A = this chain, B = another copy of it.
Amino acid sequence: MDLSVDFAGVLLKNPITTASGTFSARESGEFYDISELGAVITKGVASEPWSGNPTPRIAEVYGGMLNAVGLQNPGVEAFIKEELPYLKQTGTPVIANVAGRTVEEYCSVAERLSETEVAMMEINISCPNVKEGGIGFGTDPKMAAAVTKAVKKVSRKPVIIKLTPNVTDIAEIARAVEAEGADGISLINTLLGMKIDVQRKKPVLANIMGGFSGPAVKPVAVRMVYQVRRAVQVPIIGLGGIMTGEDAAEFIMAGADAVSVGTAALVNPTAPVDILRELKQYMREQGFKTIGEIHEAFMK
């Protein structure tokens, strides 16, 4: 059985990666051997440190969670100095997730990361609280295309664009970023959600709204991966609510080349490796020899 996938020219030994923001090298590494994974996707880094949103930043909802972490991060230099060497030593390919408030910020991080050992970059144009001209980059095909174009110009690593599900037509955005040279697409980021505590009579998040993730969002994620697969040729990282190996297989059938495990790793710290094991078992049971065969078996 061969689980390897060629993702935009980078060889991953299996399709399981960690979703940005739900993985921390040292802390996750205390629960499992991260070198078992196909790749790790780090939490978003910006050009400067960001302090994120006020707390509470986390709330639980039926079958999922809301977060308003607000991309707290120590900045790209700290990432390169403190996180990357540790990750490198594990031998796992690193996909660095990139945050920004302006096209220039994205570019400066991408340029800086191009000088490092990261294998690829995942550009997060889909964080609910990053705004330009009143609309997030990820909700407007023109702005999504503009970011892609600018980042591609300065980047010497494959560029994956991470899309938000909070849009009317996901295929349109996917086509727009592919047209500007995106080497891959990942989706979905979080849905925009909100919860009110009716005892305290106020929103559970200090930020009022937040990103909604977990198994509750999976049907939306699978649908969007399926739609994007039909719209573009570039490889796809599928994510959103993956909790089991069969969930991973579901995304692959829908059209994903690789998958990320997010909220599941908060619910169960060893989820990424557990899901890898379950995926292998599923493939054995079904007689699948490669990841490609899973997708090919899908009957629309």
> Residues on A close to B: CB < 8 A?
61-64, 66, 135, 139, 166-169, 191-196, 198, 201-203, 208-209, 212, 215-220, 222-223, 226, 241, 246, 249-250, 253-254, 282, 297-300
Chain A interface mostly: mixed
Bound together, the chains give a CA A226 to CA B195 distance in angstroms of 10
Q: Are B219 and A212 in contact (CB under 8 A)?
A: yes
A166 partner residues in chain B, CB cutoff 8 A: 168
Q: Are A63 and B215 in contact (CB under 8 A)?
A: yes
Report if A198-B282 is in contact (Cβ < 8 Å); known contacts: A193-B219, A193-B222, A212-B220: yes
A215 partner residues in chain B, CB cutoff 8 A: 62-63, 216
Closest partner residue, chain B, to A203 (CB atom): B300
A64 partner residues in chain B, CB cutoff 8 A: 63, 216, 219
Report if A220-B202 is in contact (Cβ < 8 Å); known contacts: A62-B241, A167-B168: no
Q: Are A192 and B168 in contact (CB under 8 A)?
A: no
A63 partner residues in chain B, CB cutoff 8 A: 62-64, 215-216
A139 partner residues in chain B, CB cutoff 8 A: 168-169
4 closest pairs, A vs B, by CB? A193-B219, A63-B63, A216-B216, A194-B223
Listed residue (A166, A195, A216, A218) with the most chain B CB atoms within 10 angstroms of its CB: A216
Report if A254-B300 is in contact (Cβ < 8 Å); known contacts: A168-B166, A219-B66: no
Closest partner residue, chain B, to A253 (CB atom): B196
Report if A223-B246 is in contact (Cβ < 8 Å); known contacts: A62-B215, A297-B201, A299-B201: no
Could you list 10 examples of A-B contacts with CB < 8 Å? Answer: A62-B215, A63-B64, A166-B168, A167-B167, A194-B219, A194-B222, A194-B223, A195-B218, A201-B299, A212-B219
Taking a contact as CB atoms closer than 8 A, the residue among B191, B198, B219 that contacts A219 in the complex is: B191
Q: Are A194 and B249 in contact (CB under 8 A)?
A: no
Q: How far is the CB of A175 from chain B (nearest CB, A)?
A: 14
Q: Are A198 and B253 in contact (CB under 8 A)?
A: yes
Listed residue (A166, A168, A191, A299) with the most chain B CB atoms within 10 angstroms of its CB: A168
Q: Are A223 and B193 in contact (CB under 8 A)?
A: yes
Q: Are B216 and A62 in contact (CB under 8 A)?
A: yes
Q: Are A194 and B254 in contact (CB under 8 A)?
A: yes
Q: Are A202 and B250 in contact (CB under 8 A)?
A: no
Bound together, the chains give a CA A196 to CA B253 distance in angstroms of 8
A220 partner residues in chain B, CB cutoff 8 A: 191-193, 212
